[in-house]
Amino acid sequence: MKSKSRKLFIVLAMGALVLSACQLSTGTVKSGSASDKGTVTISIPRINPYIADSQQTSSKGATSKAFAYVDAVEVDFYQNDEIVKAVMLGSAHYDETTNSITGSVTLASGTYDRMTVSVFNSAVSDTEPVVAGQTEEAFVVPVNATLELSLVLYPCAPVLLEDSVLSAEATLNLNGEKWYSFYAPDTKTKVTVLSNEGNFDAYIFGPDGKVLDGVSGSDPEKSVIFDTTTFDMPYYICLVGRTADSKGQVKYGTGIDYGSVNIAVY
């Protein structure tokens, strides 16, 4: 656990130069304490509420952010660059009434360098997280007080797409997810999903982590056009398998086909 978590933090630190401002976070983290102990409660929706609504599944929880399915959450607490507590939350911590995985961790009161969070989707991997993040600065678990913390979460390994070029074919299990990133080519961007076999949905997230739009249905080719801003922050696409062994591709490009008008003056 310890060596894996330290490796994860190195990956997060490298990615922070590009992604730390994305705020792809979800769930809430609160801490309070009694005596010299504090309790940190971690809560994250089991299914992204936006995705659940689009698939007509009952959902409650935090506002939609850039994540899809949550089967387990690893939470690591650091002091002096050493892990002092590591906790795994899974199906035993799932509360169906709130559509959330929620767990409490007891910690000694005091200052912590950071807390890292790794989110796992079992349809993808039980050992490699799909979304991860960490607190942005040191925090104090107080005595007889409550502290709210915000986390920066983002896709761990999004595939960078090229403008108007189809991605390599992806094969996903039911509710499996694969993340892509792209830089907007224009003020409107078109995302296209090709289902070569089975069925896919795709969900588009902005640099701030908010859901912008999505495409779903059984058509072999489906697309959506949405507003974008051309700046140096990536957008994200989450491709979700809706049937077992779904095979498909995704691409993005300019959202408007411009025509031309020739005017001749004599």
Per-residue pLDDT of the chain (266 residues; tens, 9 = 90+): 444 433 333 233 222 222 222 333 334 455 554 468 888 888 888 988 888 888 766 544 445 678 899 999 999 999 999 999 999 999 999 988 888 998 888 888 899 999 999 999 999 999 999 999 888 889 998 876 666 776 767 899 999 999 999 999 999 999 999 999 999 998 999 999 999 998 889 999 998 888 889 988 778 899 999 999 888 899 999 999 999 999 999 999 998 765 556 676 64
- Residue that is last in its domain, among 138, 155, 172: 155
Please give the model's pTM, rounded to 2 decimal places: 0.79
Q: Is 23 left (phi over 0), alpha (psi -120 to 50) or beta?
A: left
Is residue 65 a contact partner of residue 25, using CB atoms and an 8 Å limit? yes
Please indicate, yes or no, if residue 60 is contained in any of the structural domains. yes
- Residue that is last in its domain, among 102, 137, 155: 155
Please indicate, yes or no, if residue 265 is contained in any of the structural domains. no
Domain that holds residue 219: 159-254
Nearest residue to 186 via CA among 252, 249, 237 = 252
Please indicate, yes or no, if residue 66 is contained in any of the structural domains. yes
- Residue that is last in its domain, among 155, 184, 199: 155
Separation CA 154–CA 221 (nearest Å): 27
Nearest residue to 67 via CA among 118, 17, 19 = 118
Separation CA 118–CA 128 (nearest Å): 9
Tokens at 190, concatenated = 């078109």
Separation CA 190–CA 226 (nearest Å): 7
One domain, residues 7 and 111 = yes
